[in-house]
Chain A
Amino acid sequence: MPYYPDAMEYITIKNNGSVPIVSIPELNYDTFYQLNTGLVVDHPERHCVNYFGFRSGKGIRLICCIADDNTQDIHISSCVVSPDRPLEAFTSQVLSFERFEREIHENFGIPFRNHPWLKPVRFPFNRADRSKTIANYPFFTMESDELHEVGVGPIHAGVIEPGHFRFICNGEQILHLEIQLGFQHRGVEDMFLKKEKLLQRVVLAENIAGDTVAGHTTAFSQVWETLSGMEVSEDIHYCRTLALELERMAIHTGDLSALCTDVAYQLGSAVFGRLRTPLINFVQEWGGNRLGKGLIRPGRNPFPFTDELATRLKEVLKNYEPDFEEMSHMLFRLPSALSRFERTGVVSYEDVLSIGAVGMAARMSGLNRDIRSSHPSLLYGRFDHQPVIKHHGDVYSRAQIRRNEIRQSMHYLRKLIKKVPAAIPAAPLPSSLLPGMLALSLVEGWRGEICHCGITDSRGELMHYKVKDPSFHNWMALALSVRNNEISDFPICNKSFNLSYCGHDL
């Protein structure tokens, strides 16, 4: 029987909104379970943006946040549970809760019933069971004389982050891939509480994932501004929007280069690779760091955008565009490249929906998930943003999304620099945060939806901080994409997702 949620069972906020922690309904677990699974089942427009727990008194308080893309609402509900009592897993109804529940199990030891496999997520230093270590991860295995296993990593051939990939193959064909993560765990969420100065916390946010500096720093800044009850001026929104779109353009360009590298197309690799440089050099001209570290700060605008910078950016884009278009024109018509891209690494609409994929990993298969249009903040409301959607879910779709999003970002940047808002002198920063609040921010980084969530205690100190990188959802999409592909196509599949290890491991 379908479950009709009662509006009293959750509280609704908008993106970058906050709510007093006492006003979040505290349900019994059965109702909590019915509500949250019921909200998502058969509703592709809704998905879980964050589900986490923190210690509260003798129990664990679970907080579940479900975003509705049609209404721009985020429904928040909670439940206090004891760490030893077995609970029915949401995953038994909705697969996309799978990793959230593994994480809660790993952190607090809550034994979920009817969860397919409560595998470790990242072996955090404060895990409930210290006897589980990264060296003895429980891999899925198949007993057969016909099959063999291939282990890759944690250290990979290239200069990239560590993670272990375990393939089960039948000859050259991949039957199953399991991705073991956690090597990058630095205790980020815990450090947000230990480092008490605002500057320390924002530097921490910049270092969550060095390739998504604008994304994570914007999310952190918005959470902090909401928690301190601060309204920021338009020029700050302006600079953050510019930074996010520049980041998207630069990384997508680099990714197109990497895709060419992996099909041994040297010209594309070199040209897209070099085209990224003027973009990130421009970010350095603006803020002193090629990756945008130092550019975004909560409550203020350390590097106001000027008319001179606008002229420079115009020039950068003017030089970029013809070379980019010429190279794209060539690549997207080159049979030898297309034959490697097309129908390689396919993930179906049903699969991306069931695993809760976000960002490019959702849009590649026809699932419209883009915070810029579904929960817009900053200046995205001005653009009437239409997400780039593809339907084949293959490497080619992911390459096309990048090409089209580069064009889209270029268009937005040009629109933005037509009129540079005057920098408003910064108001003094509030010295304390509002007590007993929960604030949540969603930002569409270049990979997809970033969600930061901060909770303050009764004295206005940060007592819990939760970070969710889009990779948290999307690693499963990579694992599914390589099934029945040749193992030699793994690198191109991996590159076409380009997921974050450190953003996942935190």
Chain B
Amino acid sequence: MLNNLKILFHQGKQFIPDVTTARVPGIFRGRPVISTEPVNEEELAELCPTGAIEVSPVSIDLGKCTFCGECARVFPMKVRFTRDYKLSTNIRERLIIREGEDHPVEVDSATVRKEIRQVLGKSLKLRQVSAAGDNSAEWEMNAANNVQFDMSRFGIEFVASPRHADGVVITGPISENMAEPLQICYDAIPEPKIVVVAGTDAISGGIFDGSPALKREFLSLYPADLYIPGNPPHPLTIINGLLDLTRKKG
């Protein structure tokens, strides 16, 4: 018993007191900022492995970006990845970062379905479905519930049964072989329910976009309520996204 207490004492304080203002250590490739510096735009767009960069004006689509950082490495004066991990939004268009813009990516409260905040604002149970995810986004979701990030303090938890869930969190580019299980899972969740797509692979297919092994019709049938970008999304990106969707004021 005493030894247990000793171990507990040695851990010190592990939890992050405020997950909305915590800083991530070292370098981190979060929200990019694109300057208005003139560059060879075609060359810049050609670099991107997933076609996330558009030209005139230059923009980066965080739904396609794998956060590999190559654009910032080759064009450091043009693209810079900041440590801003708040990247989630309910509007797909807002994931597109344009040159000269430097403002946070946010959930648009006006367009969030009313029942989400009324019914799910204080308690949100989610069923995660890995639909050909590479186990990185899944990993970070588990991390979001460890003693440091401790997402369950907000009443947000992952549950085993879709019957107990208020929504589905999809990771991975959705393989043909997972399309049916995903649909069955979604159908088993009672209304009202939300759809969250987490990670670049889930949002756009990412590097797997165009693979004949995918079947992504689910996402055209059920529009996403929240996009959480990242490869994989950082636990703070996940937590802040879910908090903003369900309870952000204004």
Chain A residues at the B interface, C-beta cutoff of 8 Å: 123-126, 134-135, 154-155, 157-162, 182-187, 190-191, 194-195, 197, 199-200, 203-204, 207-211, 213, 267, 270-271, 273-274, 277, 281-282, 284-291, 293-294, 302, 322-323, 326-327, 330, 500-502, 505
Q: Is the CB of A210 within 8 A of B134?
A: yes
What's the nearest-Cβ distance from chain B to residue A190, in Å? 7
Chain B residues at the A interface, C-beta cutoff of 8 Å: 3-4, 6-8, 10-11, 14, 24-29, 47, 49-50, 66-70, 73, 81, 127-143, 146-148, 158, 160, 172-173, 175-178, 180-181, 185, 201, 206-208, 210-214, 231-232, 234
Q: Is the CB of B214 within 8 A of A186?
A: yes
Q: Is the CB of B3 within 8 A of A125?
A: no
Q: Is the CB of A271 within 8 A of B7?
A: yes
Contacts of A505 in B (CB 8 A): 132, 175, 177
Q: Is the CB of B49 within 8 A of A323?
A: no
Known: A186-B175, A327-B7. Contact between A194 and B210, CB under 8 A?
yes
Contacts of A204 in B (CB 8 A): 207
Chain A, residue nearest B184 (CB): A155
Contacts of A161 in B (CB 8 A): 130, 133, 135, 138
What's the nearest-Cβ distance from chain A to residue B87, in Å? 14
Q: Is the CB of A187 within 8 A of B29?
A: no
Question: What's the Cα separation between A203 and B212 when bound, in Å?
Answer: 18
Can you list 7 A-B contacts with CB-CB less than 8 angstroms, sorted by A residue number?
A187-B214, A190-B212, A199-B68, A210-B137, A211-B139, A294-B67, A322-B10
Sorted nearest first, the 7 A-B pairs with minimum C-beta distance are: A210-B136, A285-B26, A187-B213, A157-B160, A210-B134, A125-B213, A187-B211
Question: What's the Cα separation between A209 and B135 when bound, in Å?
Answer: 6
Question: What's the Cα separation between A482 and B93 when bound, in Å?
Answer: 49
Q: Is the CB of B129 within 8 A of A185?
A: no
Q: Is the CB of B49 within 8 A of A159?
A: no
Contacts of B7 in A (CB 8 A): 267, 271, 323, 326-327, 330
Given contact pairs A500-B135, A505-B175, a sample of 19 additional A-B residue pairs in the complex whose CB atoms are under 8 Å apart = A123-B177, A135-B180, A159-B130, A160-B135, A161-B135, A162-B130, A185-B213, A186-B173, A194-B211, A199-B47, A213-B136, A271-B7, A285-B27, A289-B28, A289-B29, A291-B139, A302-B73, A323-B10, A330-B3
Q: Is the CB of B81 within 8 A of A185?
A: no
Specify which of A126, A190, A203 is in contact with B207 (CB 8 Å cutoff).
A203
Q: Is the CB of A288 within 8 A of B136?
A: no
Question: What's the Cα separation between A154 and B172 when bound, in Å?
Answer: 14
Q: Is the CB of B8 within 8 A of A267?
A: yes
Contacts of A200 in B (CB 8 A): 49-50, 207
Q: Is the CB of B211 within 8 A of A291?
A: no
Question: What's the Cα separation between A195 and B211 when bound, in Å?
Answer: 10
Contacts of B210 in A (CB 8 A): 194
Q: Is the CB of B26 within 8 A of A281?
A: yes
Q: Is the CB of A162 within 8 A of B201?
A: no
Q: Is the CB of B160 within 8 A of A284?
A: no
Chain B, residue nearest A501 (CB): B135
Chain A, residue nearest B230 (CB): A289
Q: Is the CB of B208 within 8 A of A207?
A: yes
Q: Is the CB of B135 within 8 A of A211?
A: yes
What's the nearest-Cβ distance from chain A to residue B210, in Å? 7
